[in-house]
Amino acid sequence: MFIQKDNLVIRHATQGDARILGNWWRDGTIMAHAGFPHGLDVSDEEIASSLSTDSDDTRRRLIIEVDDKPIGEMSYRNKGNKIAEIGIKICDSTMQERGYGTRFLCMLIEVLLYEQRYEKITLDTNLENTRAQHVYEKIGFRKVSINHNSWKDQLGRPQSSVEYELTEEDYVRQTGPYDTTCKSRANC
């Protein structure tokens, strides 16, 4: 996968990206929202090996770039029945709260809905991550459930999550019709 819109790029994560992913994943400040305030104990070699198993049919880890500089990661997983589960993390804190998350999500969603023909996209986030929830709802994701105290973080603290889903109808209702000739939306 390679998606470009202006100076934004979403591309497959390769084994050559293992070092940067490892730096992000081992950093507790980046990984705290995912339940790992001490980061993950994973080597670059383990990451590279894991990336070699990615495929469009199962799951794909992606690197997101602004002006050719990696700023974070995305992923999607084929859940079967034309359902994709996605995730996003802007890892470079200096690039957060600039609207990039919304734009990258729209770019990926459009490829998943209109090119790969998924019928539903799901995601989840920590209940305390209200900034992410605002972005997801702005794009058209519908909250389908809240799972209170459903898991524990690295420190043993109970955590809650919110599950969302999005269909093409939800997306169009929120962002407007998709123009396949120019592949763009005014609201994203």
Q: What is the CATH number of the domain that holds 63?
A: 3.40.630.30
Distance (Å, whole) CA 178 – CA 30 = 33
User: Total domain count for the chain?
Assistant: 1
pLDDT of residue 186: 44
pLDDT of residue 34: 87
pLDDT of residue 125: 94
- Does residue 181 belong to any structural domain of this protein? no
pLDDT of residue 183: 52
Going edge to edge, which strands form the sheet with 120-126? 2-5, 8-12, 59-66, 69-80, 83-90, 120-126, 158-167, 142-152
Over the stretch 155-176, which tens digit does the pLDDT of each residue have?
999 999 999 999 999 998 888 7
- Hey, how many other C-beta atoms are within 10 angstroms of the C-beta on 123? 19
Joined tokens for residue 22: 């490892």
Q: Which helix (H) or strand (E) holds 174?
A: helix 168-175
- Does residue 107 belong to any structural domain of this protein? yes
pLDDT of residue 33: 85
- Does residue 87 belong to any structural domain of this protein? yes
- Does residue 162 belong to any structural domain of this protein? yes
- Does residue 188 belong to any structural domain of this protein? no
Over the stretch 57-85, which tens digit does the pLDDT of each residue have?
999 999 999 999 999 999 999 999 999 99
Residue 72: name the closest of 2, 17, 116, 127 by CA. Answer: 17
Which domain, by its residues, includes 89? Answer: 2-175
- Does residue 171 belong to any structural domain of this protein? yes
Residue 75 CA to chain centroid, in angstroms?
A: 5
Q: Which residues of the chain have pLDDT under 50?
A: 181-182, 186-187
Joined tokens for residue 140: 């058209």
DSSP sequence for 27-52:
-HHHHGGGT-TT-----HHHHHHHHT
The answer to whether residues 12 and 62 touch, using CB atoms and an 8 Å cutoff, is yes
